[in-house]
Amino acid sequence: MNLNMQMKPKALGRISTKGLTQEEIQDIKFMKAAITQARKAYVLGEVPIGCVIVYEGKIIGRGYNRRNTDKTTLAHAEITAIKRAGKVIGDWRLEGCKLYVTLEPCQMCAGAIVQARIPEVIMAAENPKAGCAGSVLDILNNPGFNHQVQVKRGVLKDECAKMLKEFFVELRARNKAEKELKSSQGLDEN
């Protein structure tokens, strides 16, 4: 039994752009870049979430989930991308930017998006257990805040949801194998 399984996502298939608008083609292009970031997290054994921030048609910030690797709850894809984009622009305000993310932002990331004044979020998969762009809460469009965010949902949703599902299937198999090995060696914690 190999417990040192390499976490490796499956390749993204070709996506037809026939009949799409230029904006839709751009959204696919930049979501693919976010997926590339998510794949980096996957290889590290992290939940595969990736993010890119685009300004004037160019990526100015990239990030991927590194919570376990960096041992901090703050190492979310969106937070890393926001920090990097702010350095490029030279301001904490990211007005005029678009944020592309493979999974609906959590409450921390949604709050950071609002605080950074990012006007538009394009997300792939929804997060029914922790999403704060409409699934559990809608922080991005809360009228009580001084800034609301336009949200576009579902860009490459199936590809991102499939990657997340594959990751968790592999993770559960790895965790089960580790538990069985510990048990067979008499190392069970119970």
The torsion angle over the Cα atoms of residues 123, 125, 130 and 131, rounded to 10 degrees, is 30
When mean pLDDT is compared across 7-11, 47-51, 103-107, the lowest value belongs to: 7-11
Tell me if 125 sits within 8 A of 102, measured CB to CB. yes
Evaluated on CA atoms 12, 17, 22, 23, the torsion sign reads negative
User: Does residue 93 fall inside a structural domain?
Assistant: yes
User: Does residue 9 fall inside a structural domain?
Assistant: no
What is the CATH classification number for the domain harbouring 80?
3.40.140.10
19 Cβ contact list (under 8 Å, min separation 6) = none
Q: Is 160 annotated as a binding residue?
A: no
pLDDT tens, position by position, 152-174: 999 999 999 999 999 999 999 98
pLDDT of residue 4: 42
Q: Is 76 annotated as a binding residue?
A: yes
User: Does residue 56 fall inside a structural domain?
Assistant: yes
pLDDT of residue 65: 98
pLDDT tens, position by position, 91-142: 999 999 999 999 999 999 999 999 999 999 999 999 999 999 999 999 999 9
User: Does residue 34 fall inside a structural domain?
Assistant: yes
The tally of domains found in the chain comes to: 1
User: Domain of 133?
Assistant: 22-156
Supply the mean pLDDT for the chain: 92
Q: Is 106 annotated as a binding residue?
A: yes
Tell me if 74 sits within 8 A of 66, measured CB to CB. no
pLDDT of residue 32: 98
Cα separation values, 107 from 47, 72, 132, 140, Å = 17, 16, 5, 9
Q: Measure CA 152 to chain center.
A: 15
pLDDT of residue 7: 56
Q: Predicted confidence band at 175 (pLDDT cuts at 50, 70, 90)?
A: confident
pLDDT of residue 15: 73
Active site residues: 78
Q: Predicted confidence band at 12 (pLDDT cuts at 50, 70, 90)?
A: low
pLDDT of residue 189: 56
The overall pTM is greater than 0.85: yes
Question: CA-to-CA distance for 81 and 50, rounded, in angstroms?
Answer: 9
